[in-house]
Structure 1
Amino acid sequence: MTSLDEAASVPSSRLRAFVRLILIALLVAVCAAIHLVHRLFGPSPWPRRLLRGIGWLAGARVRSDGPRPGAGTLIVANHVSWLDIPVLAGATDCAFVAKDSLRGHPFMRWLCEENGTVFVDRDTRSSVGEQVAAMEAAIRSHKPLTLFPEGTVGDGRTLLPFRSSLLSLAEQPPLPLTVQPVAIDYGRHAPEFGWPTGEKGEANFLRLLGRRGTVAVTLHFLEALPQGLDRKALARLSRAAVADAIASGGAVPPRV
């Protein structure tokens, strides 16, 4: 596991973090204004542009390989950092399945809803049916939908088990559905971007914003999984594909 001391050893400046935070706030103000006007006339591309800009201002320089996901695709990805979201959305225009706790933050809730986020309560089994229905509605839109089946951000060294419950949608989909694993690869810098045990959310956010320089983030768009698999097989095969892609890219080998 990445320790708090290891994370603190990576140079990070509070001044640099606040400068980037101010630039992000300005970007949000400009993009939100244009978005609110644009959506009066049809689907708006500005949530994607905003998220891509946030990733760039935070230092992410994104490259990719493999077949890009399109509409009707359920992306199953590993989760290293909050930076995964602007990086992946900026590259694919995807919506996300997110924890219901984000509803409690007015700005984050608005931003998530404008990008088509599906909120779920992962700890309430009785609501799984409703959550799958919400995911089905999202899949019918023009966006791919991304699920982080680890259920939480990791420490950058460990690939957690993939939970299978929300993959129920893909067992007997009511519409054509492609399940595509995607590996988010920070290379040897992955432990710097993870969330070590004991670090608070605000501290993690500012630490990464204050990190010096840029980081190359590779999105490995992997081959789609076969049709007709049950959710446990989909979870197992997705995790294996992501683990292989990260390991071959030179990242810290994933562990359970």
Structure 2
Amino acid sequence: MSLLLNILALLRLIAVFGLMSIFITIYLLTTFFIPHSKDRALRLREMFLTYVGIPLLNIKIEKSGYPEITPALYVSNHRSFTDPVVICRYLKAFVIGKAEVAGYPIISKGAELTGVIWVDRDSKASRTDTRSKMIEVLKSGYNILVYPEGTVGTHRHTLPFRKGTFMEAAANNIPVVPIAIEYDSPKDLWIKEKFVPQYFYQFSKWRTNVKVRFGTPLFSDNGDELHQKAHDWINEQLTDMQENWANHFK
């Protein structure tokens, strides 16, 4: 059974990356006739995730709430590399991602087209530059999706949130929208160091079950208040979602 499930994971990987390559190639070819725009690229990403990526990976999503305001800073806890796959199925946003992912083939091109902002979380200069780019994007009318833990969390509740993005949101009158995401299986938590071993660890099973909840917008000119309210709301939702589910946290 283990061998069959690993074969299934391999076939999924080939299909997803193969079709992603086709989507990106077609998009780039059409830019000779229809100029590239972030709006168009974000629509393509949503279409790919909805009709290709999520069905092929057999990710079953239980969603509550909806992204109801734009532009806004959307903040989520971080469990897995599939978090943005799930969230961006519903949210058109520029994602702040870790710089290492910029070296992944195919993914990096799709990320470039859809405005992913790369950050080296160990570099203060990179974090400062990222916050500056984030405000530019928000002021131009687009959403930002950020993971304020700065890494993946594998415990019942979140790791401490970094405050920088909340301070910028408060200073620039930007609403903050919290998002909570939780998985049913411990195999969905990102515990492997590299992408490929983690992928096979996670997707060598038939189905991935995930819950995602969008909160209501938070407004304040106090960054500490935004930080605390978002942090508390997400942890409350995680506790609730783990009830009779996500048994690895019990």
User: TM (normalized to structure 2)?
Assistant: 0.84
Structure 2 counterparts to residues 137-148 of structure 1, below 5 A: 137-148=136-147
Which residue in the other structure is 1:68 paired with? 67
1:123-149 per-residue CA deviation (whole Å, 9 max, x = no partner) reads 222344322111112224454211001
1:148-204 per-residue CA deviation (whole Å, 9 max, x = no partner) reads 01111222644211111233321211xx52100011122xx14221023x6543211
> In 2, are the aligned partners of 1:77 and 1:149 still within 8 Å (CA)?
yes
Q: Residue 48 of structure 1: which of 41, 46, 49 is its match?
A: 46
Deviates more, 1:72-81 or 1:36-45: 36-45
Q: What is the CA-CA distance between 1:239 and the residue it aligns to?
A: 1.4
Q: Secondary structure at the match of 1:236?
A: helix
Q: What is the CA-CA distance between 1:211 and the residue it aligns to?
A: 1.4
> In 1, are the aligned partners of 2:24 and 2:110 still within 8 Å (CA)?
no
Q: 1:210 to 1:219 in 2, by over 3 A?
A: same
Kindly tell me the number of residue pairs found equivalent between the two proteins: 239
User: TM (normalized to structure 1)?
Assistant: 0.82
Q: Residue 220 of structure 2: which of 181, 205, 227 is its match?
A: 227
Distance 1:200 1:100 in 2: 14
**1:80 to 2:74 alignment:** no
> In 1, are the aligned partners of 2:153 and 2:159 still within 8 Å (CA)?
yes
Q: Secondary structure at the match of 2:130?
A: helix
Structure 2 counterparts to residues 1-256 of structure 1, below 5 A: 13-39=5-31, 40-41=34-35, 42=37, 43-44=39-40, 45-52=43-50, 53-155=52-154, 157-173=156-172, 176-186=173-183, 189-196=184-191, 200-212=194-206, 214-230=207-223, 232-249=224-241, 250=243, 251-252=245-246
Q: What is the CA-CA distance between 1:68 and the residue it aligns to?
A: 1.8
Distance 1:141 1:217 in 2: 32
1:75-100 per-residue CA deviation (whole Å, 9 max, x = no partner) reads 01011111111111111122211112
With a CA cutoff of 8 Å and minimum separation of 6, indicate the structure with the bigger relative contact order: 1
Distance 1:170 1:26 in 2: 38
1:208-228 per-residue CA deviation (whole Å, 9 max, x = no partner) reads 22212x233222111222321
- Give the RMSD, CA atoms, in angstroms: 2.6
Q: What is the CA-CA distance between 1:101 and the residue it aligns to?
A: 2.2
Q: Which runs of 5+ in 1 are unaligned?
A: 1-9
Q: Which runs of 5+ in 2 are unaligned?
A: none
Distance 2:67 2:149 in 1: 22
